[in-house]
């Protein structure tokens, strides 16, 4: 399976593959092989991205077994699936059939990799692979749809995917903060997604976070232009747990306390549209001067 990201339109030279693939294969069983691979796929990433979760087979038909879901990913800019400049490779030693793996990965990606945006731009290339070898058990019975075993596996898979997705958002090009946008009270899931993405993709919101400015008007602007159905007088906005807007109107808050909370590595923006029961979460990052520097010099 071939995966690549890079400058669009530039063909990969094949010569390095002739020597690189055999050398890489020799490292597959080395204890440090996974970490080395995570570093090898980095491009503008500032750090490698790995995650793993284990779960017990006790009580789900595989007593005494411990299963693992692990993975690595790269992606730092031109990130807003679908598609995005990202690669994710996930593995498990749980016995899961290919059709069940595909369905589980589709669901997990929808709640993780497809909920990330760094700069709202989508690329021509992304890949997400999930492999299973069943090596953690001698049983020949695979996890089957509807079983407690598959449900526990899917929970672990989603945890790994969300961990990697959050790492990608936090490592956005030039980013200084991970930004989590929570939208509740939407009329439909599509409205929740539209409102959350509008906030997460807004350059004004992202630069406000970078400037440590709790300017809730920029959040209100974003949900207003999103197309989501709601009434202004029903909307509420919190920034880092501080109520800043209720009933569509300003709420006095402590600016010094807001500045203190901006020192946290993760900034939460919570929006309640007051229009229904649908909700979602999207992860993004702030925009700094370094984003312009990185992308202005991308090909040089």
For residue range 39-86, what is the model confidence (pLDDT) as tens digits?
999 988 999 999 999 999 999 999 999 999 999 999 877 777 776 788
Q: What is the pLDDT of residue 83?
A: 64
Whether pLDDT at 209 is above 90:
yes
Q: What is the pLDDT of residue 300?
A: 59
Taking only the tens place, the pLDDT of each residue in 82-138 is 767 889 999 999 999 999 999 999 999 999 999 999 888 887 778 999 999 999 999
Whether pLDDT at 299 is above 80:
no
- Whole-number Å distance between alpha carbons of 104 and 102: 5
Whether pLDDT at 1 is above 80:
yes
Q: What is the pLDDT of residue 124?
A: 77
Q: What is the pLDDT of residue 18?
A: 92
Six-digit token string for 268: 């939460």
Six-digit token string for 37: 């691979």
Q: Map out the domains of the chain with their CATH numbers.
A: 28-170 (3.60.70.12), 178-296 (3.10.20.340)
Between residues 299 and 269, which one has the greater pLDDT? 269
Q: What is the pLDDT of residue 260?
A: 97
Q: What is the pLDDT of residue 211?
A: 96
Write out the DSSP string of 31-84: TTHHHHHHHHT-SS-SS-EEEEEEEE-TTTT-TT-EEEEEEEEE--SS--SSS-
Q: What is the pLDDT of residue 293?
A: 85
Whether pLDDT at 2 is above 90:
no
- Beta pairing partners, 66: 56
- Say what the pTM is: 0.90
Q: Single out the residue of 75, 197, 69 nearest to residue 127, CA to CA.
A: 75
Taking only the tens place, the pLDDT of each residue in 9-30 is 888 888 988 999 999 998 888 8
Q: What is the pLDDT of residue 7?
A: 78
Active-site annotation holder among 44, 85, 117, 280: 85
Helix (H, G, I), strand (E, B) or coil at 160: helix
Quote the mean pLDDT of the chain: 93
Q: CB of 37 within 8 A of CB of 5? A: no
**151-160, 171-180, 276-285: least confidently modelled range:** 171-180
Six-digit token string for 127: 């890949």
Provide the CB-side half-sphere exposure for 113 (13 A, CA): 29
Q: Single out the residue of 258, 255, 198 nearest to residue 222, CA to CA.
A: 198
Taking only the tens place, the pLDDT of each residue in 231-255 is 999 999 999 999 999 999 999 999 9
Q: CB of 162 within 8 A of CB of 51? A: no
Q: Single out the residue of 96, 103, 85, 90 nearest to residue 44, CA to CA.
A: 85
Whether pLDDT at 217 is above 90:
yes
Whether pLDDT at 229 is above 90:
yes
DSSP 151: H
Q: What are the strands of the beta sheet with 178-186, ordered from one edge?
A: 249-250, 242-246, 236-239, 266-272, 178-186, 278-285
Mean pLDDT to the nearest integer, 130-153: 95
**116-130, 134-148, 213-227: least confidently modelled range:** 116-130
Taking only the tens place, the pLDDT of each residue in 193-207 is 999 999 999 999 999
Q: Is 122 a catalytic residue?
A: no
Within 101-260, strands assigned E span 126-132, 178-186, 236-239, 242-246, 249-250
């Amino acid at each position: 399976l071939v995966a690549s990201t890079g400058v669009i339109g530039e063909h990969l030279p094949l010569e390095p593959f002739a020597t690189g693939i055999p050398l890489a294969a020799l490292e597959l069983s080395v204890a440090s092989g996974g970490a080395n691979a995570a570093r090898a796929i980095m491009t503008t990433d500032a750090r490698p991205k790995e995650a793993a979760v284990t779960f017990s087979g006790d009580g789900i038909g595989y007593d005494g077994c411990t299963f693992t879901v692990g993975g690595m990913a790269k992606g730092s800019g031109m990130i807003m699936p679908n598609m995005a400049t990202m690669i994710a490779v996930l593995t498990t030693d749980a016995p899961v059939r290919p059709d069940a793996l595909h369905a589980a990965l589709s669901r997990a990606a929808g709640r993780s990799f497809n909920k990330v945006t760094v700069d709202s731009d989508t690329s021509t290339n992304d890949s997400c692979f999930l492999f299973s070898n069943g090596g953690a058990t001698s049983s020949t019975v695979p996890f089957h749809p509807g079983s407690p075993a598959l449900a526990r596996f899917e929970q672990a898979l989603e945890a790994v995917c969300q961990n990697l997705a959050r790492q990608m958002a936090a490592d956005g090009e030039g980013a200084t903060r991970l930004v989590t946008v929570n939208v509740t009270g939407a009329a439909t899931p599509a409205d929740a997604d539209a409102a959350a993405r509008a906030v997460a993709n807004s350059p004004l919101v992202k630069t406000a976070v970078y400037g440590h400015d709790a300017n809730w008007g920029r959040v209100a602007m974003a949900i207003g232009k999103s197309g989501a159905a709601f009434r202004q007088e029903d909307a509420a906005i919190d920034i880092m747990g501080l109520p800043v807007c209720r009933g569509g109107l300003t709420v006095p808050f402590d600016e010094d306390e807001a500045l203190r909370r901006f020192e946290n590595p993760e900034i939460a923006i919570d929006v309640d549209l007051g229009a229904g029961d649908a909700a979602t979460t999207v992860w993004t990052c702030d925009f700094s001067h370094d984003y312009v520097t990185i992308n202005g010099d991308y090909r040089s």
